[in-house]
Amino acid sequence: MESWFKKLSWSKCAMMTATAAILAVTVFGASFAQTVEIRKKIEAKESANTSSMLVKASHIVNNAAPVVDTDVDVYRLSVDGQHIAYFETEQEALDTLNDLKANYIRGEMNTQSVSFVEDVVLSEESVSIYEFDTFATKDEALDYISTGSLVKDIYVIEAGDTLNAIARDRDMPLDDVLAANPDLEEDTLLQIGQEINLLVPEPIISVKTVEVHAEIQNIDYDVIEEETDELYEGDRKVIVEGERGKNEVETVVTYINGTESSIKTLTENIIKEPVDKVVQVGTKERPAGVATGSMSKPFYGYIITSPFGPRYGRNHNGIDLAAPVGTGVYAADGGTVVHAGWKSSFGKLVIIDHGNGIKTMYAHLSEIYVNEGDAVTQGDYIAASGNTGRSTGPHLHFEIRVNGTAVNPANYIGF
């Protein structure tokens, strides 16, 4: 579409003689034309002069101005007192503003009101075509009002691109990238060749929408602890399972350009009260040899050199934790020592029975500080790591066995 004022273009000057000739000057707007009529006798004689001496159309129009009414009737759009655009008809202007509002109305939501944040005024005026400027189309006007610019900073997605990486490379907050591309989310899968806009929008007119939301919200329950001497210290027992309550809440949420600005609670109706969780906490002193039922680390300052699982064509039944010779080894849980001494390829070995078919094994030790039959408590210092037996270097080989079967220690302890 051409600009508001379309200049006349002549290839040569032809003779035009008429006592009541009408010269029609066509004026283009967003999608319309108006005609300025010159009701004067205009004569033009054919000339053999070079093109540089021909009279330009703009010269004719400018000289005609004193005798021609060059004003056109338009509708001016102003925002906070500043002129933004002209429209041919009031309906065209209203359609543009309504389209702007429609961009932020979510059909599935209960929208109570839609309005503009700024003072938006539409007024009918007569404007000289010499001062007139406009947008080629209504869509361009809408785009300008929505973003504050008629240009975009387009980036074409390449292999390996992510929104986070693009934002980092452009030194932009990720939120700005998302604001410039409302159809994208942080985890959107980008396609090679896809175009995204990196120009952050600064709307000339901001749209405020007010929605009423009704939802059921959970009410968290409290946890009440009750001490009891019927349980050992560190033991806990749930007496009453907690249940969340339900609260029916109606809120008014205000959005500016689709971003939540404020939220206000209108009504609340508790439809189900929460049930508190009741937990008994043991206070009785735990005697040596009684397991807690929860394993703790037997070793610290280590490097895992061989995890549980297949190794060298067979299963490695424990986990190897490398550390200097003499590093302290501790009971993973309370129990009774059922072995304390040398055992073939394990070298110096301690085995603790924790009851319920659970045993732990500590191998390749350099020193043993417990005896068979001793009752130990979780965390007791029972040995020092070493390099005895069939060992390729200083480390602790640690196993957990349930009913005689080796299980992965990492399933019981966070190594």
Work out the average pLDDT over 309-333.
95
* Interval 283-296: pLDDT, tens: 998 888 888 889 99
pLDDT band (50, 70, 90) for residue 35: very low
DSSP string covering 346-371 = G-EEEEEEEETTEEEEEEEEEEE---
| Tens digit of each residue's pLDDT (9 = 90 or more) over 366-389 | 999 999 999 999 999 999 999 999
pTM above 0.85, yes or no: no
In the prediction, which pLDDT does 115 show?
96
Name the token pair of 154.
């387009």
Residue 11 has pLDDT above 50, yes or no: no
Q: What is the DSSP letter of 65?
A: G
* Residue pLDDT, tens place only, 127-142: 876 666 555 577 888 8
Query: CA 107, CA 112: separation in Å to the nearest integer?
Result: 12
CA gap 404, 211 in Å, rounded: 64
Per-residue pLDDT, 26: 27
Poorest-pLDDT segment among 6-20, 96-110, 201-215: 6-20
User: Which residues lie below 8 Å from residue 223, measured CB to CB, with a gap of 6+?
Assistant: 242, 276, 277, 279
Residue 306 has pLDDT above 60, yes or no: yes
Per-residue pLDDT at 108 exceeds 60: yes
pLDDT of 16 strictly over 70 = no
Lowest-confidence region among 85-89, 271-275, 398-402 = 85-89
Domains of the chain: residue spans and CATH: 154-197 (3.10.350.10), 208-284 (2.20.230.10), 303-411 (2.70.70.10)
Q: What's the CA gap between 328 and 319, in Å, rounded? A: 17
Q: What is the C-alpha separation between 152 and 29, in angstroms, rounded?
A: 23
Quote the mean pLDDT of the chain: 83
| Region of poorest pLDDT, from 204-213, 249-258, 283-292, 317-326 | 283-292
C-alpha angle 394-397-401 in degrees, rounded to nearest 5: 175
Give dist(CA 281, CA 238) in Å, integer: 9
Residue 385, C-beta contacts closer than 8 angstroms, at least 6 positions apart: 299, 321, 323, 324, 325, 326, 327, 328, 329, 364, 365, 366, 394, 395, 396
Confidence of residue 17 (pLDDT cuts 50, 70, 90): very low
User: What b/e sequence results for 294-328 when a residue is b if at least 16 CB atoms lie within 10 Å of its CB, and e otherwise?
Assistant: ebeebbeebeeebebeeeeeeebbbbbbbbebebb
pLDDT at 138: 79
Q: How far apart are CA 321 and CA 10, in angstroms?
A: 93
How much of the chain, in percent, has pLDDT values that exceed 90? 59
Confidence class for position 180, pLDDT limits 50, 70, 90: confident
pLDDT band per the 50, 70, 90 thresholds, residue 162: very high
Higher pLDDT, 128 or 93: 93
